[in-house]
Amino acid sequence: MKIHIKESAVISMAALGFFAAVGISQSTTVSAKSRVRVTSNVKLRTDASSRNVTFTGKAALFNKASSLKSAKKKTTTVTLKDLARSNKSSQNVRAYRVARTNQGKVYYKVVTFDGKYRGWIYGGKSRSKFAGGLKTYQTFKQGTLTNDMANGTFQFANPGTANDNQTVTYKQPAWTQYKVGRQVTDSSAYAAVNYKIDRAGTRTREGDQWVHIYAINNGNSGADGWILYSGLKSATNNNSPIADNAVRINLVDSATGASLTSVDYTKAGATKGATLGTNTNGVWQLASTDSSAIQSQIASALNRLGYTGFTLTQGQMAAIAQGTFGASVTISVVKPTINKAVRIVLTDPSGNVINYVDYTNNKAVNGQTLGTLDGSTFKLAATDASAIQTKLVDALKGTSYQLSANNTLTADQQSLIAQTTFGNQVSIKTVAVNPIKDNEVQLSFVDGTGQAVGSVKLTKGSSDKTALDTIKAVSVSDPTSSDSATLKKAYAALLTKAGIKGYTSDGLSNDQLAANTAALKAADYGKDVKLVVAKIPVKQLVSSAMFFDKKDTNDVKQGLTYFENANAKRDSDKNFGAALAGDTNIKGYAGDTVTVASLNAALKAQGLDTIYYAAKNDWWGAPGTHLAANDFGGTSGSLFNPAKVKSGDKIYVYKLTFTAKANNPDTSIGNTLDVNKPLFDKDGNVTIGDAGVQVALKYDQVSGAPHEITLNDTNMAAKSLAELYGE
């Protein structure tokens, strides 16, 4: 766009009138904003737990109320959304001041617990409820004894002196009462003492379960007190007789070698001395029905001890397979780490694990209960109870189970959770939703870790003789076939019927497939069939992106290689393109549809709906005209590198915008400015493939761009190109 001097003079005179008009409009806006004032600014004095909040992503963080003149954005909504999704309790948020403007808007001053993010955020129009950019976030909860707790007899699992919440006992669950410490400092002398449990409860962030124990023999009552449930083991006599048709599986901790518990697996018709499994070509294996049953039995026994999500490995199955009836075999298990959270394990009415939720709050301290003791009952703070209930309801979606008859936490369930200490877990039994009828068979899908994915009930057809007939009718193909293509088609139909996306039979191990086949063949009406499925890898619509100024037609192959996004971040086109390609708005599974609106949302999320770049010449084709990375990053408060860009230099700053549209070549598949194959069809849709595509995004210059700027000591101190442009 080479401009001659005479033409420039004419255009400048015309532009003068235009900018004068714009100036009048802007002055009106500024004047209106300048009339906004704060009418109150006070410290919040409500209970601290009621002021725990999280970000909604609907408003950014500013250094003052955003409607005030000269308010500056400190943290973008993109970052705040990441904080809201964080699994670190250090990034929980506390509101501690509230301000109201003469417009009736409410703003809260907030800070993350780690102190890294602090500022003011729009909070709606009422001080009685967090809204706008914030919502209440529950961070702490209490319970009743499970059957295992009430009926069991226990011993210290690892007696000793460690002050780790699970070796010695405490006068109250650790850190739940101020300056109330240990009951004993060494539990070694009580290693052989048998205990009963009379109270139980949980803490929140660690998800741990605490119990109060007392010695059956009063003479050993010196260590009576509170301890993590996982710090106990069943007082099972491992030397008790083993039935001739049973294999005793002793479970020990892999890290300490400490005995945890044992389970006896019995099998009708088994002969004493015979091996449980078979040896084929030197490889010991369990029958799929045995491995599935043993998996369930061991997982149930380990859940209450804090060893959640247990899945038999090939090595463990081989060891068990070599066990003989009438004898025992020992395997080691690994305990999962739960830091500053309470793990709430959801089970079906029979105690089988459905899912779990790790809950934390801003008060989380390992060893401290989630709830507080009110008289003789542990209770959850209202904010914790609400937040936990929301998480648990979400975790049960698609599982055919709910928390209670009305899908809310009961008083007993809350008490159990409240008594649990951070770093431990508690089990909550659920109830079935619409129990399976006698003419129905239910398929429950789980992933490789045993976590629920979803379920579906299938109704017996008029010509169906067996439950497998009903399943095959829906799957169209045969889900018990040994042919992988047939199997994939059958599972796809069943998963579609269940409304489940992102899973397949591809990638399952031979043992998992065998277990699924055995379960399907044993299916019966009125019963549930558990099937393991594999996660389909998430695909990217876009592999990379190139960014073009649509008016820069001198070199159609050269895009913008370094520029600034709407969040004042400067980076290379490669890095911006990678960020866009990885945005969740435009990722999915092969075959999924991405819309124009989704791409626009991704661009906005990455700050790429508006961009800025600078050039040393207003003719794009001039050699080295675009300012590159080494032209920026100056010291002493300068936006620029003084060795490359100096006071007195003339530069041109461009502001570009982009909005994707249906069937429009401005969003094209390719890597040059002149490609014209639209990414989206006439309906504004595109399908994700197995491999991402390279896209060319052609931006529009805003009216009045570029701005010609002669640099001086003042404007070189600008923090961004947007500021230099005049935004």
Whole-number pLDDT of residue 370: 93
- 547 and 486, same structural domain? no
pLDDT in tens, 481-501: 989 899 999 999 999 999 888
Least confident of 220-224, 257-261, 526-530: 257-261
Least confident of 365-374, 570-579, 592-601: 365-374
Whole-number pLDDT of residue 26: 42
- 513 and 555, same structural domain? no
Q: Give the alpha-carbon dihedral of 708, 711, 712, 718, to 10 degrees.
A: 90
Strand positions, DSSP E, 601-714 = 610-615, 650-657, 667-669, 685-687, 693-701, 707-710
Residue 67 has pLDDT above 70, yes or no: yes
pTM of whole model > 0.75? no
- pLDDT level of residue 218 (50, 70, 90 thresholds): low
- 592 and 457, same structural domain? no
- 647 and 507, same structural domain? no
| Domain-embedded: residue 372 | no
| Domain-embedded: residue 636 | yes
**Cβ 426 vs Cβ 415: under 8 Å:** no
The mean predicted confidence, pLDDT, of the chain is: 83
pLDDT in tens, 169-216: 988 888 776 666 789 888 888 887 888 888 888 755 556 678 889 887
From residue 53, give the alpha-carbon distance in Å to each of 110, 295, 365, 726.
Answer: 9, 40, 19, 36
Residues 6+ apart with CB under 8 A from 616: 622, 624, 625, 626, 627, 649, 650, 651, 652
- 487 and 595, same structural domain? no
| Domain-embedded: residue 62 | yes
Whole-number pLDDT of residue 141: 64
Highest-pLDDT range among 127-141, 464-478, 614-628: 464-478
Residues 6+ apart with CB under 8 A from 548: 559, 560, 673, 696, 697, 698, 699
Count of alpha carbons within 13 angstroms of residue 110, beta-carbon side: 33
Q: Which of 508, 535, 562 is the last residue of a domain?
A: 535
| Domain-embedded: residue 100 | yes
| Domain-embedded: residue 580 | yes
Q: What percent of the chain has pLDDT over 90?
A: 36
Whole-number pLDDT of residue 337: 67
| Domain-embedded: residue 168 | no
- 511 and 546, same structural domain? no
pLDDT in tens, 94-147: 899 999 999 999 999 999 887 889 999 999 998 888 999 999 887 656 777 877
Backbone angles phi, psi at 390, to 5 degrees: -60, -45
Q: Which of 502, 535, 568 is the last residue of a domain?
A: 535
- 635 and 516, same structural domain? no
- 553 and 530, same structural domain? no
Total domain count, the chain: 3
| Domain-embedded: residue 99 | yes
Q: Which domain holds residue 454?
A: 440-535
Strand pairing class (693-701; 542-549): parallel
Residue in 241, 269, 268, 264 with CA at minimum distance from that of residue 320: 264
**Cβ 121 vs Cβ 56: under 8 Å:** no
- 493 and 569, same structural domain? no
Roughly what angle, to the nearest 10 degrees, separates helices 288-303 and 510-521?
100
Strand positions, DSSP E, 369-475 = 372-374, 377-379, 401-402, 425-429, 431-432, 440-446, 452-459
- 544 and 523, same structural domain? no
Whole-number pLDDT of residue 571: 92
Whole-number pLDDT of residue 449: 67
- 571 and 453, same structural domain? no
pLDDT in tens, 309-350: 677 777 788 889 999 999 888 888 877 667 788 888 888 776
Whose tokens are 């923090």? That residue is: 719
Whose tokens are 């009305």? That residue is: 406
Q: Which of 106, 135, 164 is the last residue of a domain?
A: 135
pLDDT in tens, 448-468: 766 778 889 999 999 999 999
Whose tokens are 């009422």? That residue is: 126
| Domain-embedded: residue 427 | no
| Residue 147 to residue 153: CA distance in whole angstroms | 12
- 492 and 601, same structural domain? no
